[in-house]
Structure 1
Amino acid sequence: MQGWLRSPALWTAALATVLALAFLGSRGLWEPDEGRYTNVALNMLDSGDWLSPRRNDEVGHWTKPPLTYWAIAASVAVFGPVEWAARLPAALSYLMCVWLCWRIAARLAPGTRAAAPVVYATMLFPFGASQLITTDYLLAAWTTLAMWAFVEARFAPSPHPRRWIALMWAALALAFITKGPAGLFPLPVVLLFDFLLPGRRAHRVLQWFGMLLFALLALPWYVAVFHGNPGLFEYFVGDELVNRMTTGEFGRHAEWYGWIEIYVPTLILGTLPWTPTLWRWARGLPALVRPWWKDPQRRQRDAHWLLLVLWLLLPLLVFCFARSRMPLYVLPLFVPMAVIVALQWTREDRHLPPWPRLLAWAVLLLAMKLAAAWWPTHKNADAWAEAITARAPGPIHEVVFVEDMARYGLHLALGAEIEKISLDALQQPRFNPPYDEPLAVELAEHEAGVVWICKQADWKTVRERIQAYGYRAIPLGEPFERRVMFRVEPRRQRGEDAPGAR
C-alpha cells in the first residue's frame, strides 16, 4: 500500500484531476465561443433534434460538425444546466490527453513515461484551454488517441497491429465529426512516417477495414444533413474549408505575418514552465535531422524522434500557411511537445523538478483560474443575466439583440431563447446568416416574456423604427455595458410615445 501511495502515476493523476476539475464552474460563460457552443447544445437538448445544430428554432448553425454539441448536451442532461457541466467535456479531454501522453511516452521511450504526463498536465496553454468550451480539446483528444493507436501498431511487439490501425481510424472518425477535415491532420503524418522507414509497411495504414470503419462512423451524419439541406455540402467545402484555408474572409489573422503574431507567442508562453527545454531541443534539431536524409538506418534508429518531429512540424507548417489562424488550432500539438520535453531530459540526463516546485506551479495555475472568475469583462454571460433579471418585470422566455452581438450564454444562465435581428429585411446567405430575422417579423410574433437589447448609440433609431411599426419600446432601468434593455408592447393609440423613452 505504501508503495502504491508513492507511485508517480498516482500523484500525476491526482495533480491533473485537480487542475482539470477545481473551480470548473466558478465563472459564467464567456462570449462568444462558450456561449455559442453551449447554446447550440442546449437547443439540441430542448428540441430533441440531435441531428441539426441550431442557434434557435428558426436558424441552423452549420459551422461545425455535431460531436462537441452532443458531448455538452449529454453532460448538461446528466448534471444539469450549470457552467461546470458545459465545460466538463473539455476538462475530460484534457485528462485523456494526459493519460495518452503517458501511454505514448511509455512506448516510444519507457524511461520518459513518468515525466511526459506531468509536463503536459502543467503546461500553461493546455491547462488554460481545458477551462474553455470549444471544439479544440475534443479534437486534441481524438487526434492524440489516433496517434497513440499508430504508435502501438508500429512500436509495440504486438501480434495484432491491425487492431490498433482500426482504433486509429475510429479515432480519426471521431475527430472528423468534431471538426471536419481538420481532424485528419494525423493521417499525412503517419503516411509520411511509414514512407520514410523501410520495412515499416508490412501492415499498411491504408487498410480497407480501417477506411470502412472510418466511413461507417464518420459519414452518416454528413450524409443525413447533406440530404436534408441541399447546398450544405457546397457550403461546407467552399466556405468552411476552402475559404478558411485560402482567404481572410473570416478575419482571423490572415496577414502574411499572422502566424508570427498568433503561433509564436502561443508556443513560447503556452509551453511554460517547460519552454527552455523545448528551446534547447529546437536548437539541436538541425543536427538531429541532417543525418536522416541519406541514412535510412539512422532514421530507423531514431524512429521515435522522427515520428515526434513529423507530428509537431508537419501540421504546424500547414497551420502557418493557412489564412485562418487562432491559438487553439495548435492545441493538439502540445502532446508531442510534452513527449519531446521528456525525451530531451533523458538525452541531457536530467530529471523532473522536485514535486514541491511542481505543486507551487500548480497552485499558481489554480489561482489564475480562480482569478478569472472575478475578472471584470463584458463577455461574462452571468453578469448580463443578473442585469436582465434585475430589470425584467416578469419571467424571461426570450432575449432579442437588435443589430448587436448576441450573448448566447444567456441561454444557459436564463433558460431563454436568444435571437439576433436586423432592423431591415436583408439579403442573407442561406447558411449561417448574420441575423435570424428582421424586426418586422419579430414584432409580428407577439411573444410574451421578451427582453430586447440594443446598443445605446442605436437606441433612438431602434425606438423610432419600433414606433413606425405600431409598437412602443419601454426602457428597463439604466443602460448596461452601453446597451439599452427594453420591452416592447403595442401602442394603445396612434401617436403615443413611450414613457421615459426620450
Structure 2
Amino acid sequence: MWLALTCLLLAFAFLGSRGLWDPDEGRYVNVAVNMLDSGDWLNPRRSGDVGHWTKPPLTYWAIASSIGVFGKNPAAARVPVALSYLLCIWLTWRLARRLAPGTERTAALVYATMLLPFGASQLVTTDYLLAAFETLAVWAFVEARLGARHPRAWLILMWVGFALAFLTKGPPGLLPLPVLLVFDRQIWRQHLGFQLSGVVLFAALALPWYVAVIVNNPGLFEYFVGDEVINRVTTDKFGRHGEWYGWAQVYIPTLALGTLPWTGALWRWARGLPGDIRRWSDPETRRAEKSLLFLAVWVLLPLLVFCLSRSRLPLYVLPLFTPLAILVAIQRRKEHLALPRARWLVVWVAVLLGLKFGTTLWPTHKDASQWASAINERAILPVHEVIFVEDMTRYGLRLHLDAEIEKISLDPIPLHLQARFNPDSDEDLETELAEAAEEPGAIWVCKQARWPEISERIRAHGYIAIPLGAPFEERIIFRTEPATGAPGTRPATQKGAQ
C-alpha cells in the first residue's frame, strides 16, 4: 500500500502546475486539440489546412480524450503519460514476480524512483505510451512462456500490445519482437497456427488507420517509409546526434544519470555481464538462468539498434528501463542488499517532487503559459489565432489560449520546393494578411531583430503592423490592419500600442 501511494504521489503531484513546454509538448497537444475541436479523429492536423504526419494517432487520441473529459488544461494533457508511468510500474512488478520471484517490490520501487522514468512521466510525448504498450506485449509473452495456464490468451494480449505500440510510433513499436524471437523459438513453433492468426489480429488493429490515410493522401506511404523510417535510421536529416559518436553522447549519460539513484547496482551487473555471457555458452547454465538471459537480451539488442540508428534521443531508451529495474533488483538480491531505509526513500521522493515543483518556477521561453499571459495582457479582442512569422511556433498556445496557431513565410514557396507533407510553413504573408483582415482577433509574433524588415513587408502589401506593448522574449507581439484604416478603428488608443 505504501508503495502504491508513493507511485500515485509521484505520478500526479503538480501535474498541471506548469504550462506546456514547446516544441514537443505543444506540438502533440496542438494536434490533439485540433482533433477534438474539429471532430476529425482520422487526420492529425497542426492547423486547419496542414496535416501533421510525423507520428501515428494513438497519442493524439489519448490526449484529446483526456482533455475532452477533464477540460483544456495542462494536467488533462499529461494524464495519459502519468497513467502510462503507473502502468509501467505495475508491469515491472508483474514481470519481476514471474522472472525473479521475490524481487517484485524492489523492482517496482526502483522503476518508480529512477530519474528518467519519473522525469519522462511529466512530459507529453509519445515515448511513455510506447513504453507502456511494448512492456505490455513483453509481459504477455512472458506469461505465455512461463505461465501455466492459457498461453493462447496471453499471446492474444501480446499482439494487442504490439498493435497499440505500432499505432503509437510505427515500426519502432515492434522493436521488442526480435528479442522474443531470439529468446524463445520453441513457443513460436508450438503455436505457429495461432501466431498466423495473431498476425491477422495485429493487422486488424494496427493497420486500418494507415490504410485510410494513405488512400486519402497519395504519396503518404512513401513519406512514412522514406522520411519517418529510412531517413531517421540511416541519415542525420533531423539533426539528432547522427555523428558516429552520437550514441555515446546521448545514451551513456542517459543510462548513467537516468538510473539514479540505483546506478551503482546497474554498473555492477554490467561489469559482471561478460562473465555471465561466457557461462551462458553452457546449455544447462543457460536453462537455469533463462530469466537473466532474457533480461540481458531485452536490454542489449534494442540498445544496439538505437546506437546504430543515426537518430538518437534520450527518451528512445525509455522502454528499456523496465528490464533495467528488474536487473537492479536481482543484483541487489544477489548482493544480499535490503531495500533502503524508509528515511532514505522519503528523502529521495522529496527530491523528485522538489524537482517537479522546481520546473514550475524555472523561467524558460518555452513555457506556453507565459506566452499566453503576455498575449492576453496586450490583446483587446478575444484571440482566435496566433501567427508566427518565420519564427519558432509556440503550439502550446493552442491549449492555453484556445486559439489556432500558424507559422507563415514572408514569401510564397515555389510549388516545386514545397514539402508535400509537414511543410515548414502553413501559408505565406500575403495570404495570411488577407485572411486576418476578414477575421478580427489575430495576433502576430516575430523576432525583434527582424521587426523593421517584417513591418515594411507588411506595409508593402497594403497593411500596417501595430506593436502591442513592450517586446516579450525578444519578440514583437503585434496586430495588423489595412493601411487605409478600418472604419471606426483608432490604432493610437489600442491597449499597449507603442
The alpha-carbon deviation at position 215 of structure 1 amounts to 0.5
The alpha-carbon deviation at position 205 of structure 1 amounts to 9.7
Alpha-carbon separation, structure 1, partners of 2:82 and 2:316:
17
Unaligned runs of 5+ in 2: 486-490
Amino acid at match of 1:96: L
Q: Is 2:201 the partner of 1:213?
A: yes
Partner of 1:125: 116
User: What pairs with 1:69-468 in structure 2 (closer than 5 Å)?
Assistant: 69-158=60-149, 160-195=150-185, 201-203=189-191, 207-293=195-281, 295-426=282-413, 427-445=417-435, 446=437, 447-468=439-460
Q: Do 1:154 and 1:200's aligned partners in 2 also have CA atoms closer than 8 Å?
A: no
SS of 1:17's equivalent? helix
Alpha-carbon separation, structure 2, partners of 1:193 and 1:100:
20
Normalising by structure 1, we get a TM-score of: 0.95
Q: Do 1:226 and 1:233's aligned partners in 2 also have CA atoms closer than 8 Å?
A: yes
Per-residue Cα deviation, 1:78-136 (whole angstroms, up to 9, x for no partner): 00001000001000000000000110000011111111100000000000000000000
SS of 2:143's equivalent? helix
Alpha-carbon separation, structure 2, partners of 1:19 and 1:199:
38
Partner of 1:4: none
Going from structure 1 to structure 2, the CA distance change for 1:501 and 1:390 (only over 3 Å counts) comes to closer
Amino acid at match of 1:342: A
SS of 2:22's equivalent? coil
Amino acid at match of 1:52: N
Partner of 2:463: 471
Amino acid at match of 1:290: R
Going from structure 1 to structure 2, the CA distance change for 1:227 and 1:439 (only over 3 Å counts) comes to same
Runs (4 or more) in structure 1 with deviation over 3 Å come to 198-201, 203-206, 498-502
**Match for residue 23 of structure 1 among 5, 9, 14:** 14
The alpha-carbon deviation at position 297 of structure 1 amounts to 2.2
The alpha-carbon deviation at position 448 of structure 1 amounts to 1.1
Alpha-carbon separation, structure 2, partners of 1:193 and 1:201:
13
Alpha-carbon separation, structure 2, partners of 1:214 and 1:86:
28
Alpha-carbon separation, structure 1, partners of 2:191 and 2:271:
35
The alpha-carbon deviation at position 202 of structure 1 amounts to 2.8
Alpha-carbon separation, structure 2, partners of 1:11 and 1:233:
49
Unaligned runs of 5+ in 1: 1-9
Q: Is 2:479 the partner of 1:491?
A: no
Alpha-carbon separation, structure 2, partners of 1:13 and 1:289:
36
Q: Do 2:407 and 2:427's aligned partners in 1 also have CA atoms closer than 8 Å?
A: yes
Alpha-carbon separation, structure 2, partners of 1:82 and 1:242:
36
The alpha-carbon deviation at position 51 of structure 1 amounts to 0.3
Alpha-carbon separation, structure 1, partners of 2:211 and 2:50:
20
Amino acid at match of 1:249: K
Q: Is 2:50 the partner of 1:59?
A: yes
The alpha-carbon deviation at position 204 of structure 1 amounts to 5.0
Amino acid at match of 1:391: R
Amino acid at match of 1:163: A
Q: Is 2:13 the partner of 1:48?
A: no
Alpha-carbon separation, structure 2, partners of 1:373 and 1:285:
41
What is the total number of aligned residue pairs between the two structures? 486
The alpha-carbon deviation at position 296 of structure 1 amounts to 2.1
Amino acid at match of 2:205: L
Normalising by structure 2, we get a TM-score of: 0.95
Going from structure 1 to structure 2, the CA distance change for 1:463 and 1:327 (only over 3 Å counts) comes to same
Amino acid at match of 2:129: L
Per-residue Cα deviation, 1:213-260 (whole angstroms, up to 9, x for no partner): 101100000000000000000000000000000000000000111111
SS of 1:408's equivalent? coil
Alpha-carbon separation, structure 1, partners of 2:267 and 2:461:
64
Q: Greater CA deviation, 440-449 or 256-265? A: 440-449
Per-residue Cα deviation, 1:179-211 (whole angstroms, up to 9, x for no partner): 00010011000000014xx68843359711211
Q: Do 2:468 and 2:497's aligned partners in 1 also have CA atoms closer than 8 Å?
A: no
Going from structure 1 to structure 2, the CA distance change for 1:128 and 1:489 (only over 3 Å counts) comes to same
**Two-structure CA RMSD over aligned residues (Å):** 1.6
The alpha-carbon deviation at position 291 of structure 1 amounts to 2.1
Q: Do 2:152 and 2:194's aligned partners in 1 also have CA atoms closer than 8 Å?
A: no
Alpha-carbon separation, structure 1, partners of 2:262 and 2:116:
11
SS of 2:476's equivalent? strand
SS of 2:243's equivalent? coil
Alpha-carbon separation, structure 1, partners of 2:159 and 2:311:
27
Alpha-carbon separation, structure 1, partners of 2:232 and 2:375:
36
Amino acid at match of 1:172: F
Going from structure 1 to structure 2, the CA distance change for 1:206 and 1:257 (only over 3 Å counts) comes to farther
Partner of 2:488: none
Q: Greater CA deviation, 483-492 or 352-361? A: 352-361
Alpha-carbon separation, structure 2, partners of 1:49 and 1:216:
21
The alpha-carbon deviation at position 352 of structure 1 amounts to 1.1
Alpha-carbon separation, structure 2, partners of 1:501 and 1:342:
62
Amino acid at match of 1:285: L
SS of 2:190's equivalent? coil
Q: Do 1:161 and 1:203's aligned partners in 2 also have CA atoms closer than 8 Å?
A: no
Q: Do 1:475 and 1:487's aligned partners in 2 also have CA atoms closer than 8 Å?
A: yes
Alpha-carbon separation, structure 2, partners of 1:306 and 1:153:
17
Alpha-carbon separation, structure 1, partners of 2:71 and 2:195:
42
Q: Do 1:45 and 1:73's aligned partners in 2 also have CA atoms closer than 8 Å?
A: yes
Q: Do 1:56 and 1:417's aligned partners in 2 also have CA atoms closer than 8 Å?
A: yes
Per-residue Cα deviation, 1:428-473 (whole angstroms, up to 9, x for no partner): 2010000001001111212210000000011011111111110000
Amino acid at match of 1:363: A
Alpha-carbon separation, structure 2, partners of 1:229 and 1:138:
26
Q: Greater CA deviation, 60-69 or 345-354? A: 345-354
Alpha-carbon separation, structure 1, partners of 2:284 and 2:160:
32
